[in-house]
Chains A and B, each alone.
Chain A
Amino acid sequence: MPEDLPAGKEALLEIHEISLSFKGVKALSNVSMEVQEGEICALIGPNGAGKSSLLNVINGVYRPQHGEVVFDGRHFQKITPFDAARRGIGRTFQHNALFERLTVLDNILAGLARHGKTTFWENIFHVGRDRAENRRFLAWASRVIAFLKLEEHAGTIVSTLPFGIQKRVDLARALVSEPRLLLLDEPMAGMNQDEKQEMSRIVSEVNSHFKTTIVLIEHDIGIVMGLAHRIVVLDYGSKIADGMPEQVRNDPGVIKAYLGEVYE
């Protein structure tokens, strides 16, 4: 809730004047924003506004032509996805990018890759730290499975599960490595109202329980207003508003660009 906005904390994520274009087509121009530690920040905007591109810049899937990302006090001109993962940026995808031949449990265990310390020899001969690591990974995975109520699906191959459950698996895979910053690309896409409420509750709980800072993209304004501490509005690759939900709701530019149809 807006009132609970954590005050006086350092920004966990800062984005400075990011510009990104694909072969001359501008996707983002001069976007700057900040996300405070412990906050839920929603990115909204019409299709093609550059929301997913911005997430992709934050975890290094895209490299911006200009600008820098500051995560946890470190400046990155270009961060690689691998680096981002190692430093604790988790990510889910709009279209579930799950490992479809693996079970739910194995997908979630794979999410722990960045915590893997065992070497090749330890892995193949099950010696040294291998057993301890397996046990630890399994304990972490079980906790997330319980949290997201995936117990009955744990042994199921993901590709055979319905889309809504796959979305939860995607979230579980990102969550299990205990990221400091979690990027959720339309976690509620394709869900009905009940499922959206449920997912919204889960996101809010992740934020309060695990103290995870969250940046999410969502189209349902009703949900976003109730969930986010801060809303950033993008339109045609530029930031047109940034603030607490009620500020953004009343911003004339935003109403014109995006909310108009909802509120008229």
Chain B
Amino acid sequence: MPETQTSPRADLLPLSQRSGLVKPGIIGALTIAALAVPLSFNDYWINSIMIPMLVMGIAGVGLNLLMGFTGCVSIGSAAFMAVGAFSAYNLLLRVPVLPLPVVIILAGLIAAVFGVLFGLPSLRIKGFYLAASTLGAQFFFEWLFTNFSWFCNDNLSLTITAPRLELFGMDLKSVHGRYMIVSVTTLALVALAYSIVRSRIGREWIAVSDMETSATVIGIKVRARKLLAFGISSFYCGIAGVLWGFCYLQTSNAHSFDLDKSFEILFIVIIGGTASIFGNFIGAAFIVLTPIFLNLAVVGLGLTEHVNIGITTNLQRVLFGAMIVYILIKEPDGLYKLLQRAAAALSGACRRLRVTA
């Protein structure tokens, strides 16, 4: 007998389902808390943990909309982050009238245009071969931004630094300022993502990914839906790129958005859980926190004299690899699902306790 389960994916339930409305509310509240609380943390926490976690989470959401929902594999996410970062740099520099939020959105839209362009092969090919074509985007943009110095304003070091980060005359270059940019953007993009996946679009994306033939046969515009997924995915990655370049690294170049970064985003989606939104932030937390924990463990165990940086870096890779293999086998729906299940078990236990008491 197959186990019947009810609504495990609250993100996807139609509007009629009340339980589906509660979850985004909770997540919204959590995100607002996440926005406010860390302002009291010290700078290290904000700069090295909160900011990269949220930014990589956004990139994860971007890839998840494409891969988890629509079923198109991409290993070129970082390329669209680069497009976003370099577009924002040039807009801030060359069009001084544009306010920061407009620049961020425009940079996302420019990345979206290139996302659609590099998504065109998805109309013909799938799976591994499509992944190979997104790899093309990865190499193309890294090449473009290193070989044409116009993109970094003929800077000899080929790096870009935000020319200005301000809003309504407020300078946002401080840790708190940058954190505010990141958290507000995250909040807006997460709300938008929920809105998208809970609409007709999210439903049709999953339909395309689950069974393309019947999606066509019932009249879903499969090609348009796939290109839309590439566009929206790259919009998210583009904005993540702006934030990564200006709010986290502050000084970046084309190699800040290399293939390793694309794979990190892929890992976030796999670890966090495909076809989820919130899960990406769990995946991002895992990616950001693991190296920190490893270093702390090395220090804590008094192994600093025996272990060098190279070993911890390699250990970190081994750990990611092992984790991904484990998750693909044991929990293909990712850590988010694992947490949901734990929460369900906990609430069940609580209920039983109340009944017996």
The residues in B between 10 and 67 inclusive whose CB is less than 8 angstroms from any CB of A are: 12-17
User: What's the minimum C-beta distance from B243 to chain A, rounded to whole angstroms?
Assistant: 21
Q: Complex formed: what's the CA distance from A109 to B204 in Å?
A: 10
Instruction: Contacts A99-B207, A123-B196, A156-B6 given; indicate if A177 touches B218 (C-beta within 8 A).
Output: yes
By CB atoms of chain A within 10 A, which of B196, B207, B214, B218 has the most?
Answer: B218
Q: Complex formed: what's the CA distance from A82 to B7 in Å?
A: 30
| B217 adjacent to A61 (CB under 8 Å) | yes
| B217 adjacent to A91 (CB under 8 Å) | yes
CB-nearest residue of chain A to B197:
A124
| A99 adjacent to B16 (CB under 8 Å) | no
Q: Complex formed: what's the CA distance from A54 to B26 in Å?
A: 51
Chain A 144-173, CB within 8 Å of chain B: the 1/0 string? 000000000001110111100000000001
| B214 adjacent to A97 (CB under 8 Å) | yes
| A106 adjacent to B14 (CB under 8 Å) | yes
| B120 interface contact, C-beta 8 A | no
CB-nearest residue of chain A to B275:
A101
Q: Could you say which of A155, A157, A161, A174 contacts B17, with CB atoms under 8 Å apart?
A: A155
| A258 interface contact, C-beta 8 A | no
Across-interface contacts of B356 in A (CB, < 8 A): none
Across-interface contacts of A90 in B (CB, < 8 A): 218
| A109 adjacent to B14 (CB under 8 Å) | yes
Instruction: Contacts A99-B207, A120-B228 given; indicate if A82 touches B216 (C-beta within 8 A).
Output: yes
CB-nearest residue of chain B to A174:
B218
By CB atoms of chain B within 10 A, which of A106, A125, A156 has the most?
Answer: A106
| A102 adjacent to B206 (CB under 8 Å) | yes
Across-interface contacts of A123 in B (CB, < 8 A): 196, 199-201
Interface size class of A (residues with CB under 8 A): 35 or more
| B14 adjacent to A81 (CB under 8 Å) | no
Number of B residues, CB within 8 Å of A: 39
Instruction: Contacts A59-B217, A91-B217, A161-B2 given; indicate if A155 touches B196 (C-beta within 8 A).
Output: no
Q: Could you say which of A81, A103, A120 contacts B13, with CB atoms under 8 Å apart?
A: A103
* Stretch of A13-21, A42-50, A111-119, A238-246 contacting B (4+ beta carbons < 8 Å): A111-119
| A99 adjacent to B210 (CB under 8 Å) | yes
| B156 interface contact, C-beta 8 A | no
| A98 interface contact, C-beta 8 A | yes
Across-interface contacts of B15 in A (CB, < 8 A): 134, 138
CB-nearest residue of chain B to A98:
B211
Q: Complex formed: what's the CA distance from A173 to B207 in Å?
A: 12
Q: Could you say which of A103, A113, A120 contacts B219, with CB atoms under 8 Å apart?
A: A113
Across-interface contacts of A156 in B (CB, < 8 A): 4-7
| A103 adjacent to B210 (CB under 8 Å) | no
| B203 interface contact, C-beta 8 A | yes
By CB atoms of chain B within 10 A, which of A82, A110, A130 has the most?
Answer: A110
| B149 interface contact, C-beta 8 A | no
Q: Complex formed: what's the CA distance from A161 to B4 in Å?
A: 6
Instruction: Contacts A113-B219, A124-B195 given; indicate if A102 touches B5 (C-beta within 8 A).
Output: no
The residues in B between 126 and 171 inclusive whose CB is less than 8 angstroms from any CB of A are: none
| A110 adjacent to B2 (CB under 8 Å) | no
The residues in A between 50 and 102 inclusive whose CB is less than 8 angstroms from any CB of B are: 59, 61, 81-82, 84-86, 90-91, 93, 97-102
Q: Complex formed: what's the CA distance from A97 to B213 in Å?
A: 8
Instruction: Contacts A123-B201, A130-B199, A134-B15 given; indicate if A111 touches B218 (C-beta within 8 A).
Output: yes
| B351 interface contact, C-beta 8 A | no
Across-interface contacts of B94 in A (CB, < 8 A): none
| A98 adjacent to B16 (CB under 8 Å) | no
CB-nearest residue of chain B to A100:
B210
User: What's the minimum C-beta distance from A181 to chain B, rounded to whole angstroms?
Assistant: 13
| A105 adjacent to B199 (CB under 8 Å) | no
Q: Complex formed: what's the CA distance from A82 to B215 in Å?
A: 9
Across-interface contacts of A102 in B (CB, < 8 A): 12, 203, 206-207, 210
| B217 adjacent to A81 (CB under 8 Å) | yes
CB-nearest residue of chain A to B7:
A155
| A157 adjacent to B217 (CB under 8 Å) | no
| B3 interface contact, C-beta 8 A | yes
| B9 interface contact, C-beta 8 A | yes
| B201 adjacent to A157 (CB under 8 Å) | no
Across-interface contacts of B220 in A (CB, < 8 A): 110, 113
| A143 interface contact, C-beta 8 A | no
| A136 interface contact, C-beta 8 A | no
User: What's the minimum C-beta distance from B195 to chain A, rounded to whole angstroms?
Assistant: 5
| A114 adjacent to B207 (CB under 8 Å) | no
Across-interface contacts of B7 in A (CB, < 8 A): 103, 155-157
User: What's the minimum C-beta distance from A31 to chain B, rounded to whole angstroms?
Assistant: 21
| A138 adjacent to B217 (CB under 8 Å) | no
| B221 interface contact, C-beta 8 A | yes
| B210 adjacent to A120 (CB under 8 Å) | no
Closest 10 CB pairs of A and B: A114-B219, A85-B219, A97-B214, A123-B199, A99-B210, A113-B220, A81-B216, A99-B207, A113-B219, A97-B211
Task: Using A138-B15, A157-B5 as known contacts, list a sample of 11 further A-B pairs with CB atoms less than 8 Å apart, ordered by residue number in A.
Answer: A99-B214, A100-B210, A101-B12, A102-B203, A102-B206, A113-B207, A113-B219, A118-B200, A130-B199, A159-B2, A162-B2
Q: Can you list 5 A-B contacts with CB-CB less than 8 angstroms, sorted by A residue number?
A: A81-B217, A109-B203, A123-B201, A138-B16, A155-B17
